[in-house]
Structure 1
């Protein structure tokens, strides 16, 4: 990681690699085959990409029960505690339908309805991500979605990790599809003989999953096109270089494309953090991944003032932002763009990943400028309610007709006037 002094000539834009034409063509071919061949296409692509031919796509009840035998009581207790915290937080997001009335008989309102069915993509294969399941399933359930289908790529033996199955079982998710990649996304979006079509697909994945979600958007809704994970640490001279380095590494170990950035007003903190990163990497199991991420997408920016540092942080619009400063609460109001904000030395980013309660599905690649974390709202839709009495319509009919004719829509004007000029509803 290099130390760079902030100034007008310093660009904070991330230079992310874009998908290749070959990857886009591959995804288009996969989606087309799933639409055309349904289950047969899904079986073919799963055998090709995951190396396993499945007789049954869905996890059985015996597999779910067996997962508990290979799962420790300590892990189960941790999961249950996290589930309770995440559910409690998301229950506070629930919005109610509402209606207002006026003396002239006007009734206006908004009806909030949960989606019928949601699909949750969970990365799999060699890894297991219980937190992904919790963060996607719980807001959907809290919103009132009655049917949730989870999908995750199987290992070479056609199995899913016990942690994935146990987490799903704890949440009451019983339909779990053994499929990954673009083929799973397409199956959820268009449906097959055995996989029902969903209304929305959420959850992270590799470039093929991201491209598939982009391809099916419009047929179904999606949460976002997520990029590699990011962390921005804002530090003053009170920050611990050891903790700052640990938090930078915590994101760098996700992926070679992950971004870990320190913005600080202290040269001493900058230099000591740089040394601490090198030291901590020496014993990290994912040293190669984290090292590559920090070399290619990591940076330490040195600011002249806290005002300049905060402006840089807002320009970066990071997925995760940590405030390792003397008084983080005093700075909170100045932060305009961040997916999640962590205040103080005891609020390390993994706290938000696993236990605190707020959703960890966050906007990446600067999209925190205009988008928000996954929430209960993402699994509902809103319908407007409009009811006019004759008195109310007569009061507004002239203005309605006037605006309609301004737009050249005579039929609109007449539809109103026929109800107010001696006509009857």
Structure 2
């Protein structure tokens, strides 16, 4: 069987991928005496030189506090900081003032949840009344959510007296859309869902749930951590109210994330973190807050990370997100097919979905995921093992942990071949299935 039997090779050729890999210094290293095969981008991506250089240049030439000083360095730092906001906004189809900088996507999701809690407690005045939750109101998630898009809503339900409900998945891990019609109803106030599952790699049909949620007047919060780095995403076209994603999964540095929010909603939400740089007037008794996005950016900001994230976005844009998505769809199908052909291997998720990123999780019968991960690491192959911060989904699929291989624009077919060979060798070594 040739790889062309799996899917047409579109987007980026092997030669083009080989050229791109030269931009990533870490990919040239060896691990345990073998060339590194990095198949853990779902956890964090590697960084091209332009991103490393952008952060270094900021510190060497423009390091200063933003939105504060009147001197030249402060003005240059502020310009870079706000230019980056515009760059990221255009990348996801948002307006500049709809982009809030956070430390990561988890903080962004918690920001929305805690702001709703503050509104429920009476903070934010008349504008925030639209967000007030009452006992009997419902918050809806899905059974495949990452813990970062589950636990904040569990906590919000506890704080407000609302009820947390979820849309179940089927035996393959796909949403049971028929159930959504009954789960999302007249008492639903918030619907939080993942655009792409970090376990099964399938692009979820979020448009259907977004329409259903808005039909009953609910707010939609999108976990876009596994979609924005890999697909062309337009938050306005999707019609979501909030969306969160992380810089470190899209070639950017750690320590920076993005929260998108509709302008009218952001300006009506009470703040989550408070302090300097997000206020207009402060007395000993009270404070008044700036409009969004600054009202959600208290304290000293992660300026160098923001600048480097903009460099990552420019890099991705220059390559083309449609080309990256096509390449990853090919790699994802290749992973599913090649792994699924191995004895004693169960690939999680729908097997024939055309809407997929380059990610696949699997279980090798009778072999613990951590043992398999160590076996592969001995051969220089880096994968993720465990429950991937999605324990309810693993429990629904009848396993405790899985092994996840995740690709990106720098992944080669040879690396997938090495993974398949490594899993085959591991099955023999551990006596899989016995």
- TM-score w.r.t. length of structure 1: 0.25
Which structure's CA Rg is the greater one?
1
Q: Which has the higher contact order (CA 8 A, sep 6+)?
A: 2
- TM-score w.r.t. length of structure 2: 0.25
